[in-house]
Amino acid sequence: MMRNIFKNDELQKQFDEKGFVKLSMLEKEEVENLRNYYIDQEFDNKIEAGFHISLDNQNEELVKEVGSKIKDVLVPKTSELLDDCQIFTASFVIKEPGLQNIVPPHQDWTFVDEDQYCSATVWTALVDVSEQNGALGVIPGSHKIFNHKRSSPSPQSKSPLADHIFTLFPFVEVIDMKAGESLIFDNRLIHASPPNFSDQARIAVGIGITQSEAKLKHFYQNPSSGKLEEYDVDQGFYTWFNNKRLSDLFDSKKSPEGLNKVGEFERVVPDLSKEEMEARVQELEGVEYNKPFMERLAKLFNYSMDGEQKEAEANQQDVETEIQKEWKDERTFLQKYSLRNILREIVWRFRGKPNMN
């Protein structure tokens, strides 16, 4: 039987059933301390629009310094709550203003042997967050759907969710949080976030936790064979081997060096149709189609309730015609308000691909 990560049995029960818990974590002064620290840093991946994390900086020493700062504030808090757990990652998690910076439904990497242990993220808001500024959203109970090894790098090591972004997003429950509140979620939980519609960056911190006795793992897809390489790693792995470095290795047909490789095996991931994926989600207790959320997105991107585009642009007549063909009254509500159609509008208006990272 897997050892609990929470000291409190009720919190553990909620975590086991839903895949997440929300609770108060930091005091006002602690929130301001971390937020001001972030603002004062010069990260090489700060961008005007998009989603980024401080772990993805190329300056390893800065990544370590940031991790130590976050741990100094969070460890005393989590020690009161968690039952003998280790912290293996610590990072700022930022969503800049911009309509194109949707983070699609996804699961995090596999960090431990999940037959024996559990890994989770403690995601703590440093500003008030809501749907308006790109709050975190989850599909409750979705940590129970899959049990495969979630490998790097992204997008090369294709997730089984990659073809189902538009199927899954309407079932995401966006979680409003006050600055200082935390969402602790199982890394298997399907989570996502809408765009940041505000004019300020959405600032949060995330730390990775697992039982103290758990060995940390990493699974990397071999670019030549397609097989998964299993590595035993330590906490220092994550300060250097971020997704960008692993992506560069993959594109160069290489594997990580200097690590303890313990095995290699066939990569087996679920391959579900749209109908199968939707059926699995709809079987989860309490999960519903988020109609108000989809209606607000439709309104934001200038669609009327019957699905017809409200305004046209002469120089985009070809795109407009395609959209109007798709938006017909005889379609079901789910078809009219699919995220695919709404995101198509983002592509049109920004004349490029939406930032899905």
Percent of the chain topping pLDDT 90? 64
Question: Which CATH code is given to the segment(s) 9-265?
Answer: 2.60.120.620
Q: State the amino acid at position 304 in one-letter form.
A: S
Whole-number pLDDT of residue 101: 77
Helix, strand, or coil (residue 72): helix
- Using the structure block, give the residue that is written with the tokens 């997003």: 169
Whole-number pLDDT of residue 337: 40
Domain residue ranges of the chain, discontinuous segments joined by +: 9-265, 290-350
At 280, which helix (H) or strand (E)? Answer: helix 274-282
Tens of pLDDT, residue by residue over 11-35, are 999 999 999 999 999 999 999 999 9
pLDDT for residue 334 is more than 70: no
Residue 56, token pair as written in the block: 């993805």
Per DSSP bridges, beta strands 20-24 and 260-265 are unpaired
Tens of pLDDT, residue by residue over 266-304, are 999 999 999 999 999 999 998 988 888 777 766 665 544
Whole-number pLDDT of residue 133: 94
Look up residue 309 and give its DSSP letter: B
| Confidence grade of residue 228 (pLDDT, cut at 50, 70, 90) | very high
- Using the structure block, give the residue that is written with the tokens 């790098």: 153
Q: Is the dihedral of CA 343, 187, 125, 175 positive or negative?
A: positive
Phi, psi for 88 (deg, rounded to 5): -115, -15
Give dist(CA 21, CA 186) in Å, integer. Answer: 9
Angle, CA of 137, 196 and 119, to the nearest 5°: 35
Residue 102, token pair as written in the block: 């949707």
Give dist(CA 90, CA 274) in Å, integer. Answer: 35
CB burial readout 100-126, b (16+ within 10 A) else e:
bbbbbbbbbbbbbebeebbbbbbbbbb
Instruction: Output the pTM of the full model.
Output: 0.84
Q: Which of 45-59, 120-134, 163-177, 247-261 has the lowest mean pLDDT?
A: 45-59
| Confidence grade of residue 331 (pLDDT, cut at 50, 70, 90) | very low
Residue 239, token pair as written in the block: 């300060």
pLDDT for residue 56 is more than 90: no
Q: Is the dihedral of CA 232, 108, 93, 176 positive or negative?
A: negative
Q: Which of 316, 317, 9, 53 is nearest to 204 (CA)?
A: 53
At 230, which helix (H) or strand (E)? Answer: strand 228-233
